Amino acid sequence: MRKGTALVVGATGITGGNLAAYLVASGWAVYGLSRSAPEQSGIIPVAADLMDKQATDKALNGLPITHVFYCTWIRRDNEKANVEANSTMMRHLFEALDSDQLQHASLVTGTKQYLGSFEAYGSGRIETPFRESEPRVPGDNFYYALEDVMFETAERHGFSWNVHRPHTVIGNARGNAMNMGTTIAVYASICKATGKPFVFPGSQIQWNALTDMTDALVLARQMEWAATTPGAANQAFNTVNGDVFRWRRMWREIGEYFGLEVADCPETPQPLDEQMKDADSIWRDIAQKNALVEPDVSKLASWWHTDADLGRDQECVNDTTKSRDYGFDHFRETRAAFFDLFTRLKEEKIIP
């Protein structure tokens, strides 16, 4: 028996791709929307650019969508432009859907809810652990704009909603702009191939402070749970694995997994954007020698986003008490999430 008809927006991303696969396995009819139609087993592809209202209307016309899972975003040159572009995309989506059939909308944002936008990153100095009840950080933030569009549309049409706030997501997805797990795996593989020490690229604060992360399957489980549990409707939930760790231990454990010499954390950050300037040609050689499926390193690694996460100068820990109080108790060891991803990347010939 079908649980509902889901539209996963951003179905080729790290969050949307893993969510779509999970919903299919859980008994949903799933449409996957992206600019290039996703090729995923059991998912009905829908191709549309949400910036194009006419194309969005045409692509979604007549689809029997009961639940929307919004897992996408677009990056512009500054946050004002981010706000304008991302809110426009969501408005076009809701305007194209049949509001009489729509029962629920889920929005994925993240820890920039508490830290501030990309251009004001770290301006939010909220005490850890971050709680969902914290006020918004002053200034433009496209997360807030997306929330407001969803809140306004839900009130107008009478459907329920949830907001999910993961910290850096671990999962398998090629060509994704926010993919730390695969980025670290590619970096480690380059270090091994070239004899380069495995240097932590971030700040001393991130090296030493407590932090947490989100496995893509934990996020998928929480999204389905919240969307189908009446008591959890119209709530925002932090979404992390349930454990905390320090990078100074995790980095060494990752280095051991790849058989690497792990250097001490430098006094000043050593961004991957700088370390990996020659990665394109190095990776093509590695891919050729090992018959890897993707020779273009830019489709695997997101140096800039991993630098942003690991270069923070403040502790980032998310409180999940609210989610547990509402009845969601799934958890995942972050170290195991990393290692399982690395093993899968090797099996699929993405890394050597």
Residues carrying an active site annotation: 112, 143
For 91-95, which contacts have Cβ atoms below 8 Å and span 24 or more sequence positions? 91/149, 91/153, 92/50, 92/51, 92/52, 92/53, 92/56, 92/57, 93/9, 93/50, 93/56, 93/60, 93/68, 94/68, 94/149, 94/150, 94/153, 95/53, 95/56, 95/57
**Cβ proximity of 350 and 293 under 8 Å:** yes
User: Residue 214 — φ and ψ, nearest 5°?
Assistant: -130, 120
Largest CA distance in the chain: 60
Please write down the long-range contacts of 71-78, taking CB distance under 8 Å and 24 or more positions apart. 71/8, 71/9, 71/10, 71/11, 71/13, 71/15, 71/16, 71/19, 71/108, 72/9, 72/10, 72/13, 72/16, 72/34, 73/10, 73/142, 73/146, 75/118, 75/177, 78/119
Which uninterrupted H or E stretch holds 155? helix 142-157
What is the distance between the alpha carbons of residues 288 and 25, in angstroms, rounded to a whole number?
A: 35
- Nearest CA among 323, 45, 341, 284 for reference residue 168: 341
The span from the CA of 144 to the CA of 140, in Å, is: 8
Cβ burial 118-156 (10 Å sphere, 16+ → b, else e): bebbeebeeebbbebeeeebeebbbbbbbbebbeebbee
- Three-class secondary structure of residue 166 per DSSP: strand
Rounded Cα–Cα distance for residues 252 and 332 (Å): 20
Chain position carrying tokens 């790849």: 258
